[in-house]
Homo-oligomer: A and B are copies of this chain.
Amino acid sequence: MNQKLGRASIRPEEAVYILNSASIVGTKEGEGPLGLLFDKVGADDLFGCKSWEEAESTLQKEAVGMALEKAEVEPEEVTFVIAGDLLGQSMATSFGLSSYQIPLFGVYGACSTCGESLTVGVMSIAGGFAEKIVCVTSSHFASAEKEFRFPLEYGNQRPLSASWTVTGSGAFVLGGAVEKGRKARGRITGMTVGKIVDYGLKDSMNMGACMAPAAASTLEQHFIDFSGQPEDYDKIITGDLGKVGQRVLIDLLREKGYDISEQHMDCGLEIFDGESQDTHAGGSGCGCSAVTLSAYILKQLEERNWKKVLFMPTGALLSKTSFNEGMSVPGIAHAVVIESP
């Protein structure tokens, strides 16, 4: 069985289905343009917990619970859960998912993690290693500010290139086939795995520019591996490049001979109204692409407003320590082809 395509891509012999999915977000996301589409909006951003980290764990737990319920799948039927977040040592996953008792693959790709988890999930099913898979990722504005930047109490000023970490978690139940009488939300038919791309940028308040070269690299490789063109997709959707990163990405790809200005969409630009919500460059975080995929993108595919999209979450590979030691902020992006069910 050869399911490898070109240098860095995978084309499963049989499509893998997103059987169902769920999203939970914080108050600010609930007030944004996609607010009415999320399955659950928290009354406050602590979600009944004592710390921001516990709150983020609760997000993952609730997202997985809702996704399983919507898919009518019991935790015992899930072969593996593939999960990650932005906290050091993936704490939201470790404390959010233990009660389900599902064998776990922890993954880390910064804000690209949703794409990575879907890719490992599709490999697990298309390779015959698993029957059903849950993929989940999360981020939380307050735990991320604390983890990467400053304590909230410090009230640091945010430049216009900064993004706003989304408080939210999206979970996806994958399966190899759709049982009779059930509907799926989407069909995954290909993936391109990204590599680390480092242009030497060091500004953690401009992550869009740091990640755009990685997005361009993965996208170019995707078009090469699939012998494809931007026109193959109704939308080419990045995770959280924001305003600045979007411009850089479109410019970089134009230099490589691809014009994606018609198709490009960015989850970070969809989830907030930058003007009225004061989120500057846009939304970001592992949760940003995940909740937008669940609430908005899959809905468009279900309703056949779009037939085929390329979903490509983008990650900035920095830590508090690497930033403080003066290191650059490399990027990575993983692309997933999702079609109408």
Contact = CB atoms under 8 A, between A and B. Distances in A.
B130 A195 contact: no
Interface of A: 1-4, 7-8, 10, 51, 53-54, 79-80, 84, 86-91, 94-95, 97-98, 101-110, 116, 119-120, 123-124, 126-131, 147, 193-198, 317-322, 325, 327, 330, 332
Contacts of A95: 322, 327, 330
Given A2-B128, A319-B87, A325-B53, A120 B105 contact: yes
A332 to B, nearest CB: 7
Number of copies of this chain that the complex holds: 2
B97 A321 contact: no
Nearest to A119: B105
A198 B3 contact: no
Contacts of A195: 98, 101-104
B131 A4 contact: yes
A147 B88 CA distance: 9
10 closest Cβ contacts across the A-B interface? A127-B127, A88-B88, A103-B193, A94-B317, A89-B319, A98-B196, A1-B128, A106-B108, A8-B103, A3-B128
A216 to B, nearest CB: 14
Nearest to A8: B103
Contact of A86 (B3, B89, B98, B119): B89
B322 A91 contact: yes
Pick from A105, A197, A327 the residue with the most CB of B within 10 Å.
Answer: A105
Contacts of A325: 51, 53-54
A98 B198 contact: yes
13 contacts: A1-B1, A80-B193, A89-B317, A89-B319, A90-B108, A91-B321, A94-B322, A98-B195, A103-B195, A104-B194, A106-B108, A106-B109, A108-B108
A7 B129 CA distance: 11
Pick from A87, A88, A95, A194 the residue with the most CB of B within 10 Å.
Answer: A88
Nearest to A13: B128
Contacts of A108: 84, 89-90, 106-108
Nearest to A51: B325
A120 B122 CA distance: 12
Contacts of A54: 325
A204 to B, nearest CB: 12
Nearest to A108: B106
Pick from A110, A193, A332 the residue with the most CB of B within 10 Å.
Answer: A193
Contacts of A94: 196, 317-318, 322, 330
A330 B108 CA distance: 18
